[in-house]
Amino acid sequence: MRKNTPPERVRVSILGASGYSGQELLSRLTGHPGAEIVHAFAQASAGTRVDDLIPSLKGRTELVLEPFSIESAAQCDAAFVALPSGEALEAVPRLLEKDVTVIDLGGDFRLKDASVYERYYGRRHPAPELLERAVYGLTEWNRRAIAGADLIANPGCYPTSVLLPLLPLLKEAIIDAESISVSSMSGVSGAGRSATLELAFAEVNESVRAYKVGVHQHLPEMSAYCRAFSGVPTTLNFVAHLLPITRGIYSTMFARLKREHDVSALAATFERYYGNEPFVRLLDGRVPEIKHVRNTNRVDIGFTVDLATQQVTVLAAIDNLVKGASGQAIQNFNVRYGFSESEGLA
């Protein structure tokens, strides 16, 4: 793969800078030696100083949040779009027309089929011609395409935690692609920063509940990219749960082995795919925990095999705001512009 030659400085803007993912981008890109944040857009918080929004940035930035302007955004080389799905649909085509590279953290450009998008997101896609142009930003599996992309569709948080553990097993035909069940749990920050009653502390504390059962918008994304990267048509049974914590995702995947593999054979497979990956940590005989990946761009993967039933259980933990959103977006930014992949993410 030809590596891009990194420029001295890439001028960037952030759309949705006051949200949880936007704040992660602000914090990490402020310390990125190859990125210069020129504009931070946030409609409702316009006029607020960034270091008032994020006090840890006092003395490190003079930026003030401002309303979105295509003229201002066009002054930049790249734009991180950290808007809820649906809100990016107007901005992204305009940014591309101005030759601005877009890294979209929402779900509007992940699916290739506009009819599937309409079914799961509940709206017509106004720019279906861009769906084929978009490059899926699962960095560990799509670097070559990311390096030359002008529209990068950052994966969803749940799909990141599911695809990375499953893909080596599907690619190597180790598991039955029709037998996969996934139970995933997420902290409440995954729903964004807007206040709603159902996400209030008193509503979520001391409870766990499933949501969007059978209709979650990440389900077709996971199925599509299981097939795209492994070459194997895949059926997933997926259920998401809300945890009474702020951040983190924990996914447990169950599947049937197609042929006999013990733990050491699975470990060798994962090592072959991820042994040199800076943000994938393979746990030898241990189970992942959210607290060990919090505030990092890492995914921790553990697994076990029941040889009597030929069942494999794979477990993964990520921080939904970092590896599941802003951190992976910066990882893709680094690949796109030729920086060290861990720049801004240490």
The residue type found at 200 is A
**Is there a common fold for 10-155+324-337 and 158-322?**
no
CA-to-CA dists, residue 331 to 8, 151, 152, 225, 299, angstroms = 17, 14, 11, 19, 13
- Residue 148, classed as helix, strand or coil, is coil
> For the chain, how far is it from start to end, CA to CA, in angstroms?
24
Chain centre distance of CA 282: 19
Q: What amino acid positions are annotated as catalytic residues?
A: 157
Q: Which two tokens stand for residue 49?
A: 């100083």
Task: Give, in degrees to the nearest 5, the angle at Cα 84 between 247 and 221.
Answer: 80
Please state the domain extents for the chain: 10-155+324-337, 158-322
**Residue 145 near residue 133, CB atoms below 8 Å:** no
Tell me, what's the pLDDT at 1?
A: 44
Sign of the C-alpha dihedral, residues 143, 147, 149, 150?
positive
Across the strands, what pairs with 64?
49
The H or E element spanning position 237 is strand 236-242
Residue by residue, what is the 3-state secondary structure of 155-204? CCHHHHHHHHHHHHHHHCCCECCCCEEEEEEECHHHHCCCCCHHHCHHHH
For 30-39, b/e burial (b = at least 16 CB within 10 A) is bebebbebbb
Phi, psi of 306 (to 5 degrees): -105, 100
Chain centre distance of CA 136: 10
String of DSSP letters for 271-315? HHHHTT-TTEEE-SS----GGGTTTSS-EEEEEEEETTTTEEEEE
CA-wise closest residue to 345 among 8, 10, 61, 28: 28
Q: What is the pLDDT of residues 179-215, one digit of tens each?
A: 999 999 999 988 766 657 777 787 888 899 999 998 9
Across the strands, what pairs with 253?
182, 314
- For 158-322, the fitting CATH number among 3.30.360.10, 3.40.50.10490, 3.40.50.300, 3.40.640.10 is 3.30.360.10
Tell me, what's the pLDDT at 193?
A: 63
**Residue 162 near residue 225, CB atoms below 8 Å:** no
Alpha helices in the chain (DSSP H): 20-30, 50-53, 70-73, 88-97, 114-121, 139-147, 157-171, 201-204, 218-230, 263-274, 327-337
Across the strands, what pairs with 299?
280
- Mean pLDDT for each consecutive 10-residue tract of the chain (346 residues)? 72 97 97 97 94 95 96 97 93 97 97 96 95 98 98 98 98 95 94 70 87 92 97 94 95 93 89 98 93 98 91 97 98 98 94
The CATH T-level fold of domain 10-155+324-337 is: Rossmann fold (3.40.50)
Tell me, what's the pLDDT at 346?
A: 81
- Residue 38, classed as helix, strand or coil, is strand
Rounded Cα distance between 20 and 168, Å, is: 31
- Residue 76, classed as helix, strand or coil, is coil
Q: Which two tokens stand for residue 126?
A: 């106004």
How many C-alpha atoms does 249 have within 13 Å on its Cβ side?
Answer: 32
CA-to-CA dists, residue 336 to 82, 157, 171, 237, 276, angstroms = 18, 20, 25, 33, 19
Tell me, what's the pLDDT at 11?
A: 98
